[in-house]
Structure 1
Amino acid sequence: MLVVHAEFPIDPEKRDEAIDVIRELAEQSRTEDGVIDYQVATDIDDPNLFRFTERYEDEAAFGAHAETDHFGTFESALPDLLTGEPEVTRFDVDSASEVEL
């Protein structure tokens, strides 16, 4: 499994526009083959910091995601929406299990 965690600092004046673009990206991404989970949330202390948590079955699914039209739309819109540098971290995971609380 491949996990991607990304943080995008969004310009407060462009937040509504960003939400529309991000919502479309998330909704479309969740329907892709090989996408296990695709979640976006805002930071509790900074509502203009959007955090993505993406889980893919494998490298091929991740690569296919980067080639979709909805990802291209997001990627094209992003420079105008940002107020800082995004941070993206990739994790290659051999195994995962649920934690009982």
Structure 2
Amino acid sequence: MIFIVVKFKTKPEWTDRWLDLVGPFTAATRAEDGNLWFDWSRSVDDPTEFVLVEAFRDQAAGGAHVASPHFKTAMNELPQALASTPKIISQTIDATDWSDMGEMTVG
């Protein structure tokens, strides 16, 4: 799978509207055939920082995502709300889903 984590630092005036701004992009990406997940979180240390954790089945699915109209629209619309260039980690890993955490078992 292609496993990606991106940190987005928003302008303060956009922070409360960020999830609305990325809403259509999020919905369209989650509907893609090869998308495994596309989940947003907010930093507990910096309220203007949002973290996106996403995964795609394989390189082809990731490539289709980057070539999609909604990706291109997002790349044009999102920068207006950002204070800096997003930071990304993108890796191909040998997994198909989340694994249980071995160090902690519940139930």
State the TM-score, normalizing by the size of structure 2: 0.84
SS of aligned partner of 1:73: helix
Query: After alignment, is 37-46 or 17-26 more displaced?
Result: 17-26
Please state how far the C-alpha of 1:15 moved relative to its aligned partner. Answer: 2.4
Give RMSD over aligned pairs: 1.6
Unpaired segments ≥5 residues, structure 1 = none
- Counterpart residue number, 2:30: 30
State the 1:16 CA deviation: 4.1
Q: How many percent identity over aligned positions?
A: 30
How many residues matched?
Answer: 101
Query: Shift of residue 51 of structure 1?
Result: 0.5
1:81 paired with 2:85, answer no
Tell me the equivalent position of 1:98.
Answer: 100
Q: Which residue of 1 aligns with 2:40?
A: 40
Counterpart residue number, 2:67: 67
Return the offset for 1:55.
0.8
Query: Higher mean Cα deviation, 16-25 or 76-85?
Result: 16-25
Please report how far the alpha carbon of residue 98 of structure 1 lies from its aligned counterpart in structure 2 after TM superposition: 2.4
Which ranges in structure 2 are unaligned for 5 or more consecutive residues?
none
Corresponding residue of 1:7 = 7
Query: Would you say the 8 A contact 1:21–1:74 is kept in 2?
Result: no
